[in-house]
């Protein structure tokens, strides 16, 4: 696939007023979510839940793509139609999570590095056949005493760059996600410094690996105080710090940036995105790639009556998509 085609897909992912829904939770993670609301974790219930999300009426008005898990990209609707076919018919780009998750970084207690490069070229070729048009790889950066180390930052960004190069070789748009976790007592200033260092290192690694930025999407965490910090800040301060950090680190050639919610509440994640876009214009579109912040309320309702609340739960998903779509334009009214 040419860079022009990759660029076209990347631009479609961040089309005005649209974002990405992340439904790529591993089976372990979805089990925790199901357990919390009293749903039995079975393959059929996972399939039914993903069908609820992907077939919500009106979803494609504000959702450009969905990140799927390996199990999900192989599944079909109850009527027997492949999820990827349903998505493409609705104008939603199929994406796929390809990393194997974080593992302890040897020699650096408390730090992790994401694994999954072994065999990735072959897995990507299979995902292309299954209909994937973009992929996602998440690196995890902890803030704490003497963390993150430069070794941790470099190891994770080296893996992100190798993954991105393999994606583009396979004709898939890479979404690179270096998540600076909200866990901890750090203030917004520390988060800014760490996020800035991580992003500078990331784009240096992408450059070294000949990754074409025009066919790449950044999935970023916001610059925000740790959850246990005594000094929480208002929406405008988070928006201002995040935009300043991005402008000092992210090349303008990038087609767009989507944010993860990272443990923020539904309303917080929407309000922060909206405030950032009201500060525009920016060198790139700022949109969303939310998981929990898109699904939580719908899952809770669906769990009460999986047949009777199905349509109502779908309406909640579509409404969350609409609210975040408006926020991606700076037009959300709260």
Instruction: Give domain limits for the chain.
Output: 3-327
Instruction: List helix spans (H) across the chain.
Output: 3-13, 27-37, 43-54, 70-73, 83-90, 120-130, 150-170, 188-208, 235-249, 266-278, 292-304, 310-327
Residue, of 1 and 229, whose pLDDT is higher: 229
Rounded Cα gap, residues 84 and 99, in angstroms: 20
Note if 304 is an active site residue: no
What average pLDDT does the segment 145-158 reach? Answer: 97
- Please tell me what DSSP assigns to residue 329: T
For residue 280, the model assigns a pLDDT of: 86
Residue 147: strand pairing partners:
144
Identified catalytic residue from 111, 177, 179, 323: 177
Q: What angle do CA 110, 114, 118 make, to 5 degrees?
A: 140
For the residues 127-135, what does the mean pLDDT come to?
98
Confidence of residue 223 (pLDDT cuts 50, 70, 90): very high
Q: Look up residue 36 and give its two tokens.
A: 């919390």
Q: Does residue 1 have a pLDDT over 80?
A: no
Q: Name the CA dihedral angle for 270, 273, 278, 284, rounded to a multiple of 10 degrees.
A: -150
Candidate list 18, 97, 136, 219, residue with the active-site label? 219
For 2-25, the pLDDT digits (tens) are 888 999 999 999 999 999 999 999
Q: What is the pLDDT of residues 31-70, one digit of tens each?
A: 999 999 999 999 999 999 999 999 999 999 999 999 999 9
The DSSP result for 212-228, as a single string, is: -GGG-EEEE------TT
- Among residues of the chain, what percentage have pLDDT more than 90? 96
Q: What is the mean pLDDT of residues 214-227?
A: 97
- High-pLDDT (> 70) share of the chain, %: 100
So what's the pLDDT on residue 255?
Answer: 98
CATH node for 3-327: 3.20.20.70
Q: pLDDT confidence of 292, banded at 50, 70, 90? A: confident
- C-alpha span between 259 and 287 (Å, rounded): 6
Handedness of CA 182, 159, 166, 207 (dihedral sign): positive
Give catalytic status of residue 227 as yes or no: no
Q: What is the pLDDT of residue 172?
A: 98
**Consecutive H or E run containing 22:** strand 19-23
- Average pLDDT, rounded, for the chain: 96
Closest by CA to 262, choosing from 191, 213, 163, is 191
Is the per-residue pLDDT at 106 higher than 80? yes
């Amino acid at each position: 696939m040419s860079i022009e085609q990759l660029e076209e897909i990347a631009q479609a992912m961040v089309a005005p007023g649209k974002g990405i829904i992340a439904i790529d939770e591993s089976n372990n993670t979805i089990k925790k979510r199901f357990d919390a609301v009293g749903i039995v974790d079975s393959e059929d219930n996972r399939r039914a839940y993903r069908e609820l999300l992907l077939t919500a009426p009106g979803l494609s008005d504000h959702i450009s793509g969905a990140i799927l898990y390996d199990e999900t990209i192989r599944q079909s609707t109850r009527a027997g139609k492949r999820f990827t076919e349903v998505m493409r018919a609705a104008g939603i780009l199929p994406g796929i999570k390809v990393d194997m998750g974080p593992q302890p970084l040897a020699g650096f207690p408390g730090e992790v590095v994401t694994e999954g490069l072994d065999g990735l070229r072959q897995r990507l070729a299979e995902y292309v056949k299954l209909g994937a048009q973009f992929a996602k790889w998440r690196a995890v950066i902890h803030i704490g005493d003497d963390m993150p180390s430069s070794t941790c930052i470099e190891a994770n960004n080296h893996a992100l760059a190798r993954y991105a190069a393999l994606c583009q070789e396979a004709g898939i748009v890479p979404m690179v996600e270096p998540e600076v976790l909200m866990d901890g007592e750090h203030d917004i200033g520390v988060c800014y410094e760490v996020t800035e260092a991580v992003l500078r290192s990331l784009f240096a690694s992408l450059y070294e690996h000949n990754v074409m930025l025009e066919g790449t999407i950044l999935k970023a965490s916001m610059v925000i105080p740790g959850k246990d910090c005594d000094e929480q800040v208002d929406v405008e301060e988070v928006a201002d710090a995040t935009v300043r950090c991005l402008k000092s680190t992210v090349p303008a050639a990038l087609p767009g940036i989507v944010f993860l919610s990272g443990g923020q509440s539904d309303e917080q994640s929407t309000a922060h995105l909206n405030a950032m876009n009201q500060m525009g214009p920016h060198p790139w579109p700022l949109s969303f790639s939310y998981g929990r912040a898109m699904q939580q309320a719908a899952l809770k309702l669906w769990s009460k009556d999986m047949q009777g609340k199905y349509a109502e739960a779908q309406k909640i998903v579509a409404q969350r998509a609409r609210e975040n779509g408006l926020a991606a334009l700076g037009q959300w009214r709260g």
